[in-house]
Amino acid sequence: MEKEIKVGIGFATGRKQFKQVLKTYIFNWLESELTSSDKVSLNLFVAYDLKYHNTQSTDYTNVSTELLEQVDGTCFIGNERMQKEISSLIQQGIINERQAKLVFGRGYAGKRNIIQYMALKEGIDYLMFFDDDEYPLAVTKTRGIAVWGGQQGLRTHLKHIQHADITNGHHCGYISPIPYLEFNNILQESDFQTFIQAISNDIVNWDKIKSVMENGGVTYADTKVLVNGEAEEVEEVSHSKFISGSNLCINLTNPERVNAFYNPPNARGEDTFLGTCLQDRTVLRVPTYTFHDGFSTYKHLLDGVLPTKLDYIKADSEEVIQRFYKACIGWVRYKPLWLYITDSKNYEKRILEMSKQLAATLPKICEYFGRKDFMKIATELENYHRNVKKHYNDFIETRQAWENISQSFINKTPQQYNPKIGTGA
């Protein structure tokens, strides 16, 4: 019997803990009574990257039969499967080889795009993205104690997505890669504020960052959202609607209104760049949370261990400093293109201002963290500034190629979804 609504759940992953995260989510859908629904068909789409953490395909595809029986369809997308789909698109004349590399290239954008494509191909109505380092939990702080609550994220999104193009939930936990810092004569608060504002986008608010830092890097869920929260339309700020790539649901019922993800080479920001394409789209923030385990220190949450206190993330270990360094590199790599798209009139002026801010603060950052390689941030800015027009043209061409792909689904009857569609190594 054909179910009324076909829902896709997408994971773009590269971590070995994926199967444990998937198990948690499947039991969450079971508890939400979605797996037993006569109306909702749940279909899993997993695009995996073996190079990210030197993993093998079985780290993703070898899922227990007991778990897979709870969903109606599975589609595991490795490199071989992706190349097969790309070849088909090229042979049909829908896109060319260069466009294929732009849409389905390396990085999170390419993985999210292949999931979107496969979901459209299989006639999915609504596609939900979760990340493999986020869990269906919310944490609040009451009287100094961490209080936990389960979240029915998928059910919440399905309640609202029929009236929107995109729904996006909230995030708590270790969202920010910025650790807790104790300022001193080497690095003062004003220096660090200048540095962060130079490399981040306009949506980032220093007061909010400072508040999270003072909480030890932890963002707690808003009890008002948890208790009485309603869906609210996401407003446009700086020619962009701010969304995140996870706890994100996309309405696929009209392929013409589905957008491609894009990020500059070796950069992140695929959710930020999608946000610049949503001026005429209805985007809702819905009242559900996920807990972001950004430093992979709370995996025991998946085993049911709920701590009463969340640790401060201090800049006192190589691992924490390295994550912060990588985040800074990622931010500065996508900042030029983001400025070029959202504030082209003042682009050159803004880049010059960034360069001056980094010149004034990077030596202090290097001394504070005891690492000279933070100076590479200035080099990366210059490199991505120099290539911004190329990246912009790639961004536009990615959107155009995706429009060709979307058009190929218009007036086409979706093929019958094939449950347990196969692993596709």
Instruction: Give me the pLDDT at residue 299, please.
Output: 87
Q: What percent of the chain has pLDDT over 70?
A: 95
107 falls in which pLDDT band (50, 70, 90)?
confident
pLDDT at residue 294 is higher than 90:
no
CA 383, 186, 356, 393 dihedral sign is: positive
Average pLDDT over every residue of 135-145: 92
Burial class of residue 233 (count of CB atoms within 10 Å of its CB; 0-12, 13-18, 19+): exposed
* 16: confidence class by pLDDT, cuts 50, 70, 90: confident
Would you list the domain boundaries of the chain? Answer: 5-409
For 142: left if phi > 0, alpha if psi spans -120 to 50, otherwise beta; the answer is: beta
**What residue type is assigned to position 4 of the chain?**
E
Q: Quick check: 9 pLDDT over 90?
A: yes
* Predicted pLDDT of residue 423: 33
Query: Is it the case that residue 88 has pLDDT exceeding 60?
Result: yes
What are the tokens at 180? 């807790």
- Banded model confidence at residue 416, pLDDT cuts 50, 70, 90: very low
Q: How far apart are CA 266 and CA 65, in angstroms?
A: 36
Q: Would you give the distance in Å from CA 297 to the centre of its chain?
A: 19
Query: pLDDT value at position 200?
Result: 86
132, 278, 352, 356 from 349: Cα distances, Å: 39, 26, 5, 11
pLDDT confidence of residue 202: 66
- Flag whether pLDDT at 275 surpasses 70: yes
Task: Kindly state the average pLDDT of the residues 116-136.
Answer: 97
Q: How many other CB atoms are found less than 10 A from the CB of residue 154?
A: 25
Phi first, then psi: what are they for 312, rounded to 5°? -70, 140
Q: Is pLDDT above 60 for 413?
A: no
pLDDT, tens only, 347-373:
999 999 999 999 999 999 999 999 999
Please give, one letter per residue, the 3-state secondary structure of the chain.
CCCCEEEEEEEEECCCCHHHHHHHHHHHHHHCCCCCCCCEEEEEEEEECCCCCCCCCHHHHCCCHHHHCCCCEEEEECHHHHHHHHHHHHHCCCCCHHHHHHHHCCCHHHHHHHHHHHHHHCCCCEEEECCCCEECEEEEEECCEEEEEECCHHHHHHHHHHHCCEEEEEEEECCCCCCECCCCCCCCHHHHHHHHHHHCCCCCCHHHHHHHHHCCCCECCCHHHHHHCCCEECCCECCECCCCCCCEEEECCCHHHCCCCCCCCCCCCHHHHHHCCCCCCCEEEEEEEEEECCCCCCHHHHHCCCCCCCCCCECCCHHHHHHHHHHHHHHHHHHHHHHHHHCHHHHHHHHHHHHHHHHHHHHHHHHHHCCHHHHHHHHHHHHHHHCHHHHHHHHHHHHHHHHHHHHHHCCCCCCCCCCCCCCCC
* Mean pLDDT along residues 292-297: 87
d(CA 28, CA 34): 9
When pLDDT is cut at 50, 70 and 90, the band that residue 412 belongs to is: low
In this predicted structure, the answer to whether residue 41 has a pLDDT above a threshold of 90 is yes
Distance CA 189, CA 210 (A): 9
Supply the pLDDT for residue 52.
Answer: 79
Q: Is the pLDDT of residue 411 over 70?
A: no
- pLDDT tens column, 329-351: 999 999 999 999 999 999 999 99
- Please tell me the distance from the alpha carbon of residue 294 to that of residue 90, in angstroms, as a whole number: 38
- Measured between alpha carbons, how far is 336 from 418 in angstroms, rounded to an integer? 43
Q: For the segment 179-216, what is each residue's pLDDT rounded down to a tens digit?
A: 899 999 999 999 999 999 999 876 667 888 888 888 88
Least confident of 31-45, 83-97, 193-207, 301-315: 193-207
pLDDT at res. 18: 94
Average pLDDT, the chain: 92
